[in-house]
Amino acid sequence: MAKEMKEQFLEDAQGRLVPIAAVKPIDLKRHEAVTSIMADTFRERDRLVEFKKSIWLRVQDFLAESAKDSGARKFGGVKGNVTLTSFDGRFKVMVAVNDTVQFNEKLQVAKQLIDKCIASWSEGANENLRAIVDDAFNVGKSGLVSTSRVLGLRRLNIKDTTWKKAMDAITESMQVASSKTYMRFYERQEDGSYRQIPLDVANL
């Protein structure tokens, strides 16, 4: 019965079943073209997912072999970024793992400690520092503070015990929200530069 319904009716965008006989020929051809293209698209996506897994495993196998050859117990690691180049220098494979960092409630502890520092120091230049700090802890449109600006505070060379505690609190507040693995493949050109081999349809 379900098969017969599928052969006789077509579901529209509102979920209603429309008799195929009532569908305009051009609309039916458009529907068939799009669904056929998407079927190929999903197959290609699944193939690329398997390709990515295969590359990751092959790189990890090589790193393990390289570590064994050099007598090291570990080389690279799951979070390690690595670049591998062919012996003739023609090809280069880069694998990078980028983490998305978020902060937990300890970030507010860090802000309180920083405010305590600024309040205890003499005025003047510290007003500029307060502006930098307030900007770093300012919540953006996404409802989150800027990770790069907060972490940038740790690069300030301030020798103060309370400030150091604040920086430690920032470190402790950091949590990895997600990780994404990037793989890039390059071929050397005649001028010695490397051109990335695009696997994005838009760049082909």
What was the pLDDT predicted at 1?
45
Strand partners, 184: 94
What are the pLDDT digits (tens) for 16-26? 999 999 999 99
Per the CB < 8 A criterion, the answer to whether 93 and 74 are in contact is no
Tell me: pLDDT of 75 over 60: no
- Chain-centre distance for alpha carbon 73: 28
Q: What is the 3-state secondary structure (H, E, C) of 72-107?
A: CCCCCCCCCCEEEECCCCCEEEEEEEEEEEEECCHH
Per the CB < 8 A criterion, the answer to whether 93 and 59 are in contact is yes
Entry pTM: 0.61
What are the pLDDT digits (tens) for 146-200? 888 888 888 888 888 999 999 999 988 988 787 788 899 999 999 999 999 998 8
Residue 198 contacts by C-beta under 8 Å, 6 or more apart in sequence? 204
Rg (CA), the chain: 28
- Of 2-6, 138-142, 160-164, 171-175, the one with minimum mean pLDDT is 2-6
